[in-house]
A and B are shown apart, each in its own frame.
Chain A
Amino acid sequence: MKAAKHTATEEKPAQKKGGVIIHIKGLKKSFGEKDVLKNINLDVHKGENVVVLGRSGSGKSVTIQCIVGQTYPDEGELTVFDEDVASLTERQLREMRTRIGFLFQGAALYDSMTVRENMEFPLTRVLKLKDRAEIDRRVEEMLDNVGLLDAIDKMPSDLSGGMRKRAGLARTLIVQPEIMLYDEPTTGLDPATSREISKLILDMQKKYKTTSLIITHDMDCARITSDRVVIMHEGEYIAEGTFDELKNANDDLICSFF
């Protein structure tokens, strides 16, 4: 079954925020016989929060892996900051990645380092900061933002799931990326902590004025964080609009996501 394209509004308020920062057109990707992405089209505008909703295995994560050049599409256009990701050299790709933050599902904290060392890692390796006082100031400020200043010298194994997510978010935001990609940011958390993380994502987005692409199947997270929601089903985007527009859509397939 294929649902009709639901273009909820002709005018999408969120798209007024700025120029296109991520442009995806006709994106296709297969793994062996399985077509994971079939003709994906999406423009993300500067300053907006786009949530991609979809069931597990629908190709959401592959889309953001393509955006950061972790995997390459078989067909289609994909430009980030007006640069074709597939044609970048290794050095250019690394430079582009310094402008993008990626929060992994499991936070991916470096478990041989303390929280402080996790925060310092991108500052010293990516931004190449050398001034000790400046590094300390940034680490403490960012941990304070996410409410983890008390855990600064703890190891990741000593943190709860919610604290790990907050630490992961802080580590990603500490280099002040222009785009934030979130891969299932609230998976595995209880509802209260999920809401807390979702609000934190929104607060950080406002504070640091990032553009966000959030992959999730958590409705609360989508409702709290989204300017625009895109629904993905079996490798295709089947609908887009604001959260409320899609929630009230007259389409069984779209309604089944809410």
Chain B
Amino acid sequence: MAEQAAPAWKRVLEESGDQVIFLKGFFRNMFRGGFEWSEFVRQCYEIGYKSFTLVGTTAFIMGLVLALQLRPTLVDFGAESMLPRTLAVSIVREIGPVITAIICAGKIGSGIGAELGSMKVTEQIDAMDISGANPMQYLVVTRILATTLMVPLLTLLGDVLGLIGGFLATNISGNVSATLYFNKCIASIGFVDFVPAFIKTIFFGFVIGFIGCYKGYNSNRGTESVGLSANSAVVAASLWIFVIDAIVVQISNILLY
């Protein structure tokens, strides 16, 4: 049994080492001259703008459903007026960032993993490397920075649309004006709600880009590995999102409360 377990541990350790080397390569190439601005902007468009519809729709429905689920319980306790506050805090602090990050891990992480995996398999990355160009700088740095920038922005938009969804649900069975609803929402969100939540979305974005690039860039030869890269990018990024979430929440609880 011990003999069977050893190679798995060895693989985990080897992969961890490879990820550290890849991370070092990312930072080294990020601060090297000749930043690929045009590719970075293109990636921001591909990652941010093209994910907006999916993230926005999901966030809107999530806010709507959350409000519909919360309302009967709050009515039982005579606390219906707490609905905007409860919605705002839960969406801004936790549900918005995590749901947006999970959607982005599925859409963006798998996309990056598959794209770079397919470039690796068809020797495009090798061609770039052998020509004397720098594939880390062109392909990896731009994608990781784009996800690090766009996931927080998508989360902000998702938060707003989630609250709009909540407003719609509140008005299905009640009658609250938009001014009152949004005033209550904004008044209930403080520095301790918004800032830690925003900071963790930056880490979520980084992890989604980093894992996607790492898995794709290190695809083994063969078309099967393209699918595996995409799949493992989603699985690993999703896992890391929950780990980072738990760590950031714990740290912010210690520092801010």
Contacts and interface: CB of A to CB of B under 8 A. Distances in A.
A126 B126 contact: no
B123 A94 contact: no
B142 to A, nearest CB: 13
Interface in B132-172: 132-134, 138
B154 to A, nearest CB: 22
Contacts of A108: 122-124, 126-127
Contacts of B126: 70, 104, 108
B131 interface: yes
Contact of B124 (A97, A98, A109): A109
Contacts of A102: 127, 130-131
B133 A70 contact: no
Chain B interface helix/strand/loop/mixed: helix
Contact of A68 (B123, B128, B130, B138): B130
A169 interface: no
Size class of the contact patch on chain B? 10 to 19
Nearest to B130: A102
A111 interface: yes
Contacts of B138: 125
B133 A125 contact: yes
Interface in B96-137: 115, 119, 122-124, 126-134
A121 B123 contact: no
A95 interface: yes
Interface residues of A, number: 23
B130 A126 contact: no
Interface string A173-208: 001000000000000000000000000000000000
Interface string A96-112: 01101110111011111
A4 to B, nearest CB: 36
Contact of B134 (A101, A112, A125): A125
A110 B123 CA distance: 9
Nearest to A128: B34
A125 B119 CA distance: 18
A172 B130 CA distance: 10
A102 B126 CA distance: 10
Of B122, B132, B134, most A-chain CB atoms within 10 Å: B132
Nearest to B125: A108
A94 B127 contact: no
A104 B132 contact: no
Interface in A74-108: 94-95, 97-98, 100-102, 104-106, 108
Nearest to B42: A112
Contacts of B131: 97-98, 101-102, 121-122, 125-126, 172, 175
Contacts of A126: 131-133
B132 to A, nearest CB: 4
Contact of B130 (A95, A97, A106, A110): A97
A121 B123 CA distance: 16
B124 A110 contact: yes
A106 B221 CA distance: 14
Contacts of A97: 129-132
A95 B124 contact: no
A188 B62 CA distance: 52
B132 A95 contact: yes
Nearest to B132: A98
A104 B123 contact: yes
Interface string B184-204: 000000000000000000000
Lowest 3 CB-CB distances: which A-B pairs, in order? A98-B132, A108-B127, A125-B133
18 contacts: A68-B130, A70-B129, A70-B130, A95-B132, A97-B132, A98-B132, A100-B130, A104-B127, A106-B122, A108-B124, A108-B127, A112-B115, A121-B128, A121-B133, A122-B131, A125-B133, A125-B138, A175-B131
Interface of A: 68, 70, 94-95, 97-98, 100-102, 104-106, 108-112, 121-122, 125-126, 172, 175
Given A94-B134, A110-B127, 20 more contacts: A68-B130, A70-B126, A70-B130, A94-B132, A97-B132, A102-B130, A102-B131, A104-B126, A106-B122, A108-B122, A108-B126, A108-B127, A109-B124, A110-B119, A110-B128, A125-B132, A125-B134, A126-B131, A126-B132, A175-B132
